[in-house]
Structure 1
Amino acid sequence: MLLVPFAIGFLAPGAAVEPPPGQPVFGFTDPEITESSGLVARDGLVVTVNDSGDSNRVFTVDPATGDTVGVTRWQGDATDIEALAPAGGPGSGEVWVGDIGDNTGARDHVEVARVPFGRGNREVDAPTYELTYPDGPHDAETLLADPATGRLYVVAKEFIGRLYAAPERLDPDGPNELSAVDEVLGIATDGSFTPDGKHLVLRNYGQAAVYTWPGLQRVAQVDLPRQPQGEGLAISESGEVLVSSEGVEAEVLRVAVPLGSSPSASSSPSPSSDADGSEQAPVQAEEQGSWWPWALGGIAGVVMVGVLLRSLRPRD
């Protein structure tokens, strides 16, 4: 009971202010798009996918109308698809699909598939790869693809998020073991690299955080517009940031996120070397949120325990 209020405090975004409004770009018109979770913006189109419970399919949407203009299906049965990431550069016409959800922490492996998108319906035989964690199962909703190297990354959806790197080359016969990189935004529901590969952006239900790459220093954190269940984020080739939400006819919003920030020399922690030789800067504790949500959560916890003990006291 004591832990619950502290957890709530950890997830609180900070000052109690009204989230900034987003600019509506379009709304999904397809009644089959009920739980938009992953989002990719490429080649003048938007790609999305429903999360848990849907089959192996992705929807290609025309942002000018919100209409679905293509559906791609591929072999196999989905377990819990939660994320998308661009595959290749502009014009590649492919996305990575992450079947990486694991709410019960029971999966011995998760999967990613490389799937074409575009106008028109199609059924394909998509290359599929198994991924395993080095430290046991994790639930995840964020799949990232480095635009410079093509390497995939998965972010565990936990109070303190953790970024995991896939092998540089995926073995189709698998399994491909992920390696832990660093701590990042908690309860991440989606994310994307910037087109130049110098930053990555992660979102949760209320905020977005911008990190340098590969240093992984957080250089910006912004509140996101209020959404029913915000689980999608995409960055177009021009740097436009879009966010989506679950729900039938959900809106896709354009939001202002500073993508070109650089850490100041005075605030930069000393980077440490990761296993692959790239520089990784540890996330500082203060970056996870301000102190007051913890304090309020702790006070609430004490009050709750006091009320409980009083209610259990024998009465004369």
Structure 2
Amino acid sequence: MRSYRLTALGSAALLSLAVAAPAAADDDGADRTFTIEDPRITESSGLAASRAHPGIYWTHNDSDDGPYVFAVDSRTGKTVATITMKGVGAPRDVEAISLGSDGNLYVGDIGDNLNGSWDHVWIYRFPEPKVLKDATVRATQFDVKYADGPRNAEALMVHPRTGRVYIASKNEEGGGLYEGPAELKTGSDNVFRRVGEVPWVTDGAFSPDGKELVLRSYFSARGYTFANGRLGKDYPVESPLLPQSESVTYTADGAALMYGSEGERSRVVRVDLPKTGDGGGGGATHRAGGIKESADSDGDGVPVKGTTLTGVAVLAGIGLLLFLGRRRRKG
């Protein structure tokens, strides 16, 4: 959403001073850091890794762009399919997308820039296409209300084991995690109830095993253990410095997080996850806590990855340079 942006100068400075390190990915080039090349995608606000098509990421524009969802190939950054949803009316502010355990894509028309002006929002659902090509699909529309009243939200996550839908509201002072009913239904309101407290959130994603939940904001990310539908222990998660940090998803294999941003030719940055467990017989898992740094650079060699601590140092450095510059001019 467009309510909070870094200045162009500040963004460039942050990116150019970020720490770079090589990123790991599949040998065929899938799931690496990439640039979204489609000129139609200028406000990528959600990401979901395909399970049916390795290396493909589903995304969409926010605001009132229309009922469109795009399949982008991470190997090339090019759009390989455009899906037009029918039967859903006119989307108002699409902010999130998630792939459910049932093989359906869930699209969250859940933004509310006036933070409580709409008494209901919508979720759209349709099966992930088996063939990647432009198509028009009939989506199911679900009406959503919050038990404690309307609010703004940008994060929608479908649990990969239970299939239950969760929404994280967005508020600078902190929001809430809302749990939907066990099964979404048409013809009546689906009431989402607050089950946890979360920080300022622009997107979120469950790990493939459903045991971890990562929530991101503009400047940082945080992970939580997740069990029995509730948040557990929280821990810091490394995140890249991007001009406007809007989206996050796990890779399909759970080996990394992919962070996206808005803007023309926006970047999707891979951050590798360390393995945990003894790994015997290929049983190693990945955990978001303590993510190691991983990055790529653009064609001009400008790094596009940094840690949250790096961002703090960069901001401090910029402030110092501006202060010294003013003193020289006064002298």
State the TM-score bracket (shorter-chain normalisation).
Answer: 0.7 to 0.9
Q: Between Structure 1 and Structure 2, how many residues are aligned?
A: 246
The answer on whether the counterparts of 1:58 and 1:71 sit within 8 Å (CA) in structure 2 is: yes
Contact conserved, 1:72 with 1:117, CA < 8 A, in 2? no
Q: Indicate conservation of the 8 Å contact 2:101/2:161, yes or no.
A: no
Distance across 2 between alignment mates of 1:80 and 1:21: 34
Q: What's the offset of the Cα at 1:113?
A: 0.8
- In the alignment, the residues of structure 1 paired with residue 160 and residue 224 of structure 2 have an alpha-carbon distance, to the nearest angstrom, of 15
1:35 aligns with 2:54: no
- The CA distance in 1 between the partners of 2:288 and 2:81, in whole Å, is 36
**1:88 aligned counterpart, secondary structure:** coil
**C-alpha offsets along residues 104-133 of structure 1, whole Å, 9 cap, x if unaligned?**
121110110112444111111101101101
Gaps of 5+ in 2: 1-16, 24-31, 275-285, 290-311, 313-331
Is the counterpart of residue 138 in structure 1 residue 151 in structure 2? Answer: yes
Greater Rg, structure 1 or structure 2? 1
Q: TM-score, normalised by structure 1?
A: 0.73
* Alignment match, 2:242: 227
User: Counterpart in 1 of 2:206?
Assistant: 193
Alignment partner of 1:182 is 2:196: yes
Determine the C-alpha separation between the residues in 2 that align with 1:113 and 1:101: 14
Q: Distance in 2 between matches of 1:34 and 1:115?
A: 23
Name structure 1 gaps, 5 residues minimum. Answer: 1-17, 263-292, 294-316
Counterparts of residues 1-316 of structure 1 (less than 5 Å): 21=20, 23=23, 25-43=33-51, 44=54, 45-75=56-86, 76-88=89-101, 92=103, 94-104=104-114, 105-118=116-129, 119-158=132-171, 159-184=173-198, 186-214=199-227, 215-239=230-254, 240-257=256-273, 259-260=286-287
Q: Distance in 2 between matches of 1:66 and 1:202?
A: 24
**Counterpart amino acid of residue 246 in structure 1:** E
Q: CA deviation at 1:217?
A: 2.3
Q: Distance in 1 between matches of 2:120 and 2:106?
A: 17
TM normalised by structure 2 equals 0.69
Q: CA deviation at 1:230?
A: 0.8
Amino acid at match of 2:193: S
Identity %: 39
The CA distance in 2 between the partners of 1:20 and 1:234, in whole Å, is 22
Instruction: Output the CA distance in 2 between the equivalents of 1:233 and 1:71.
Output: 20
Does structure 1 retain, via aligned residues, the 8 Å contact 2:37–2:78? yes
Please say which of residues 213-222 and 223-232 is displaced more in the overlay: 213-222
1:133-176 C-alpha deviation (Å, 9 max, x unpaired): 11111100000101111000000001212000010011111211
**In structure 2, distance between residues paired with 1:21 and 1:86:** 31
Cα distance, 1:257 vs structure 2: 4.8
Supply the distance in 2 between the matched residues of 1:169 and 1:124 (Cα, whole angstroms): 22
Q: Alpha carbon RMSD of aligned pairs, Å?
A: 2.4
Give every structure 1 segment of 4 or more consecutive aligned residues whose post-TM-superposition deviation is greater than 6 Å.
none
Cα distance in 1, alignment partners of residues 121 and 161 from structure 2: 24
Aligned counterparts of 1:234 and 1:216: Cα–Cα separation in 2: 18
Judge conservation of contact 2:148–2:193 (CA < 8 Å) in 1.
no
CA distance in 2 between partners of 1:107 and 1:196 (Å): 34
CA contact (8 A) 1:87 1:114 kept: no
Distance 1:138 1:121, change over 3 A: same
| CA–CA distance in structure 2, aligned partners of residues 196 and 87 of structure 1 | 12
Which whole-Å CA distance do the structure 1 matches of 2:222 and 2:192 have between them? Answer: 23
Residue 50 of structure 2 contacts residue 57 of structure 2 at CA under 8 Å; is this kept in 1?
Answer: yes
- Give the AA of the match of 1:110: V
Amino acid at match of 2:110: I
- Report the 3-state secondary structure (helix = DSSP H, G, I; strand = E; otherwise coil) of the residue aligned with 1:85: strand
